[in-house]
Structure 1
């Protein structure tokens, strides 16, 4: 997709106090943050979700996008956990026998869930969109604009929604990064899974909107490979904990784009 040349023009904006968000070009972007769930909150969430929670679930961390005072999409830990499968994952940690013994010692409903907490969650969307498949080389995002270093950064936020160290056998995490620039906003919602000596998985949702346009673009991709596959690529193991680096090397298995239209 080709994009027109763009001159940077900053619309009027207002920064909320204490990093709680920004108002700009008919948008109000609102951030809430808080600690991990308390024991009482964990018990309540597990009952509602019928799901054993990750060791760190940040229930108060949200990122909401309002257009003309109407909420259009948002990111929520609870909503994300609702998408975790209640079927056990086919993946097994390296010391599988120890893991199976551990599973035998927990309640039945605890065993009936995806212990990797894998999710394709890319926000809760309150408007309809048109989805199309993309090839590995296609993108709905204006990368020439996204990569420019001369565009002023007005607001930045990174939130962890949940994280689990998989009994010291790797990492499972869901996070959201936001950049509000003088000419656009850009969001990366990333699920990152590393099961040590077994598997890598990366599910990315990227959201892009240019000021004064009536379109919000969402691009979703899935990448994954076994440890053996990555090792055979010659990737240095020191990069295995870096999701940004691994995004550059993991094979792409799926890619789609969704276009959302804003009404005046």
Structure 2
């Protein structure tokens, strides 16, 4: 299943913003904001607003916004991503989990529970209405032959971390977003990556694709996960366990869907 042909369209005129703040191209304005991790005062404010204990590093100023003809259509932010974290303890259990739960009792917030893995299916904040389709593990609306071509000029690239937590040295939980603006399309990967050492792997990927001179934006979402035991049976060198790009190639897909949005 594919949406687009593999021919490369002519590069539209474009303008790069100063200091790597974004790009304007084919009616789209893609804007980037960046900043340091939240200060202690900001952490307290966010925790109160979210009723959630925050990851150790939250990049609250990091955002990626997409405007079409001057009107914002979708964006990515740490605050909105954290809003989707569950206020229920996860089923995953490790030895330090009791320690994390004890920390809740000292957390001055109405919330008494939270997901200490910070798992989220966040794939951006969308201000467009879309049509959702359930996909099988092997189906895709993305034009992968085009996305994998290496001869298409890269006009703009940005990678932003939204939050990260090392789970008290028991793994990693992170949410990030990557953007490629090519001469033929833009492509976004928003990834939640969880590794709980000796317990579990989880990937939640949202891929966004738009080809210039079309009015369609594709958002494709997938969930992949497996236990450490399941992955160990594959005989993979454990040095790869910290590499989300490698693990994405081997973890089984447990859920997949796609949205099609139309802009005018």
Q: What range is the shorter-chain TM-score in? A: over 0.9
Q: Any residues of structure 2 matched to 1:123-138 within 5 Å, and which?
A: 123-138=124-139
Provide structure 1 residue ranges, at least 5 long, that are not aligned to the other structure: none
Residue 46 of structure 1 aligns to a residue whose secondary structure is helix
Q: CA RMSD in A?
A: 1.2
Shift of 1:235: 1.4
Question: Aligned pair in 2 of structure 1 residues 209, 86: CA closer, same or farther (>3 Å)?
Answer: same
What is the CA-CA distance between 1:7 and the residue it aligns to?
A: 2.9
**TM norm structure 1:** 0.96
Tell me the residue number matched to 1:156. 157
Contact 1:59 1:161 in 2 (8 A): yes
Q: CA deviation at 1:5?
A: 3.8
Of 100, 104, 113, the residue aligned with 2:102 is 104
**Structure 2 residues not aligned, in runs of 5+:** none
SS at match of 1:167: coil
**Paired residue secondary structure (2:98):** helix
State how many pairs are aligned.
Answer: 260
Q: TM-score, normalised by structure 2?
A: 0.96
Shift of 1:186: 0.1
**Contact 2:5 2:143 (C-alpha < 8 Å) held by counterparts:** no
CA contact (8 A) 2:9 2:212 kept: no
Distance 2:222 2:165 in 1: 22
C-alpha distance in structure 1 between counterparts of 2:99 and 2:124, whole Å: 35
Cα shift at 1:9: 1.1
CA distance in 2, matches of 1:219, 1:125: 13
Matched residue, 1:12? 13
In 2, Cα distance between equivalents of 1:228 and 1:209 = 38
Q: Deviations over 1:179-200 (max 9, x none)?
A: 0000100000000000000000
After superposition, give the CA deviation of every residue in 1:74-115 in whole Å (9 maximum; x if it has no partner).
00110000000000111122xx2x541453354365651000
